[in-house]
Structure 1
Amino acid sequence: MTATLITGANKGLGFETARRLIAAGHTVYVGSRDAERGRRAAEQLGARVVQLDVTDDASVAAAVKAIEADGGLDVLVNNAGIAPEWRDTNDVIGAADLTVGLMRQTFETNVFGTVRVLRAFLPLLRRSTAAVVVNVSSALASLTRATTPGTRQYAYTLVAYPASKTAVNMITVQYAKAFPNMRINAVEPGFTQTDLNGNTGLQTVEQGAEIIVRMAQAGTDGPTGGYFDAEGTLPW
């Protein structure tokens, strides 16, 4: 049975991804910074829970030990993410007000957290015969679209969140080259109704989770080092 860890899985896209993968036969570990929220989510889903704060080395190391003791890991979904520049729809932090502190806060979870978790679980993933890594990115990370007038990404002028996801894309490409036996891809769920954006998204979590679930089930002959949404390949 395929063992899958999803970070930030106690709600939103992570929760829906867990639900769908369990239905597909995966043994899913709900990674949650808050242990109690994770426990409640896991009970609701019929999943296993592991306390996991992607910004904390000790928390990540403990999660590795717990999952290794259970038998190992085949699929890692790096879903945990934050967007502190979106304080609310009427109070956003644009380029003029961006601070190093906010940039660092964003990167600590979205970028360094992704690397921290991926690096820690690499020994387990390398033992799998069909290892898969899905890094949840964003269309806002696309430099092509950000520089193309008329696109939603061009109209978006905030800095920290898209910059962090562009970094995630590069991490994805470089890890995919370093570990060609794994399937490692970045995905764009779309503008989904979640707590991250104050539930202002234009689609449901069921729609948003579609590409995450699809790529989490990539076979050994599937794509790697790519950037995808539900419709296909995205431009870098």
Structure 2
Amino acid sequence: MKRHLRLKTDFPLFRFLPERWTACLFLIGCLCCTACGDDEEDGYVYPSLLTEFVEVYTDAKGNGTQFVTDNGKIYAINSPIQGLQPDAAYRLVCGYEVTADDQEGHPVAKIYTVETVNLLKLKEESSDTDDPLAVASIWNGGNYLNLHLMPKTQGGTQEWGYRSDSTRSSHTGTVYHLSLYHRQPGDPYSYSTTVYASLPLLPLGLQEGDSIAFTILTFDGRKTWRFGF
């Protein structure tokens, strides 16, 4: 199992983007898409975007200057993201294009779209309070379990986290039984929306031979995904 990205930084825990910044990023993304669409009519080929979970790192001035993908690839950002917390790291889903440029030994990427990611924290509440949702995909990102979820909402507040239900050890390794914590009190199931989430794996102290059984309450009942390490 990959243990940790070898970055020479002393960044604190991940922070979520402020709502005002999320709105700004969305507007920037729309403008970029509009501009590219206009250029395409003049023969411009729309860039081939890669969409991945990444960690964006900021400098002492609060500018996002580089990001790291889950497979450890480091990219410099061609136009630094401004207005963030200094010396911090943000877990995001980015749509980006790799350019032909190079900066301090790292390829330069142009970011087109940005989505915030819910970092799942440990919860103690019973699973009896869970609300169902749809699961688009869930996979092992190395240092995280990454989730692409589609809950139904009417624009209200939704709560996220995970539970440590039990562990079972044997001579082959330990099985960690975890489950998604998801509640939406007072938020009716009106229309589907997209939510990205990541469960940090480093705090679990996984060893070779260990595995995770991750259970989610879906609209079709509880389903379990299994991952070996």
TM-score (norm 1): 0.25
Higher strand fraction (1 or 2): 2
Higher helix fraction (1 or 2): 1
